[in-house]
Amino acid sequence: MSSSFWLDRTPSVEKKTYDVVIVGAGLTGLSTAYWLQKEDPSLKVAVIEKNRVAFGASGRNAGFVTCGSVEHFNRMISKHGLEQAVEIWKFSETNLQLLQQEIIQDQSAKIQFEKKGAFSLAAQESEFTELKKVSEVMTSLKIPTEIVEGGDIEKRLGAVNFVGGIKYLGDASTNPVGLLELLRSKIKAEIFESVEAYRIDNLDDGTKILKTDKGDFETSMVVLALNGYSANLHPYFRDKIFPTRGQCLMTEAVPRFMEGPCYANFYLDYFRQIPTGELLIGGFRQIEKQTEVGYSDHITDLIQDSLHKFVVTYLPKLAHAKVTHRWGGVMGFSKDGEPMVGSIPDDPAIYFAGGYTGHGVGLAFNTGKTLVDLIFGRQIPSWISARRFS
How confident is the model over 141-171, as pLDDT tens digits?
Answer: 999 999 999 999 999 999 999 999 999 999 9
When pLDDT is averaged across residues 279-301 and rounded to a whole number, the result is: 95
Indicate if the pLDDT at residue 27 is higher than 70. Answer: yes
At 182 the three-state DSSP class reads helix
**What does the pLDDT look like over 244-263, one tens digit per residue?**
999 999 999 999 999 999 99
Percent of the chain with pLDDT strictly greater than 70: 98
Nearest to 242 by CA among 355, 386, 345: 355
Cβ neighbour number for residue 287 with a 10 Å cutoff: 12
**What does the pLDDT look like over 260-276, one tens digit per residue?**
999 998 667 999 999 99
Contact (CB, 8 A) for 367 and 96 = no
Cα–Cα distance, 142 to 16 (Å, whole number): 51
Instruction: Please give the pLDDT value at position 11.
Output: 61
Q: For 73, phi and psi rounded to 5 degrees?
A: -60, -45
Average pLDDT for the chain: 95
Percent of the chain with pLDDT strictly greater than 90: 91
Contact (CB, 8 A) for 330 and 295 = yes
Q: For 327, phi and psi rounded to 5 degrees?
A: -155, 165
> Which CA distances in Å does 217 have to 16, 17, 29, 46?
5, 6, 16, 9
The strand order across the sheet containing 45-48 reads 190-192, 45-48, 20-23, 221-224, 347-354, 340-344
Indicate if the pLDDT at residue 184 is higher than 90. Answer: yes
When pLDDT is averaged across residues 89-104 and rounded to a whole number, the result is: 97
User: Residue 213 gets which letter from DSSP?
Assistant: B
Nearest to 263 by CA among 278, 283, 285, 249: 283
Indicate if the pLDDT at residue 12 is higher than 70. Answer: no
What phi-psi label fits residue 377: left (phi over 0), alpha (psi between -120 and 50 degrees) or beta? left
The amino acid occupying position 333 is: F
What phi-psi label fits residue 220: left (phi over 0), alpha (psi between -120 and 50 degrees) or beta? alpha
Cα–Cα distance, 279 to 92 (Å, whole number): 25
Instruction: Please give the pLDDT value at position 356.
Output: 97
At 167 the three-state DSSP class reads strand
What phi-psi label fits residue 290: left (phi over 0), alpha (psi between -120 and 50 degrees) or beta? alpha
> Which CA distances in Å does 84 have to 62, 68, 240, 382?
27, 11, 20, 9
When pLDDT is averaged across residues 200-227 and rounded to a whole number, the result is: 96
pLDDT tier at 13 (50, 70, 90 boundaries)?
low
Instruction: Please give the pLDDT value at position 267.
Output: 66
**What does the pLDDT look like over 31-41, one tens digit per residue?**
999 999 999 99
**What does the pLDDT look like over 326-363, one tens digit per residue?**
999 999 999 999 999 999 999 999 999 999 999 999 99
> Which CA distances in Å does 24 have to 133, 192, 197, 229, 261?
40, 10, 9, 9, 28
Catalogue the E-assigned strands of 105-175: 118-122, 145-149, 164-168, 172-173
Instruction: Please give the pLDDT value at position 71.
Output: 76
At 19 the three-state DSSP class reads coil
Residues 320, 326, 332, 335, Cα dihedral to 10°: 50
Stronger pLDDT, 13 or 326, i.e. the higher one? 326
Nearest to 96 by CA among 182, 173, 166: 173
As a whole number of angstroms, the longest Cα–Cα distance in the chain is 69
Instruction: Please give the pLDDT value at position 8.
Output: 76
Contact (CB, 8 A) for 47 and 189 = yes
Indicate if the pLDDT at residue 10 is higher than 80. Answer: no
Contact (CB, 8 A) for 236 and 250 = no
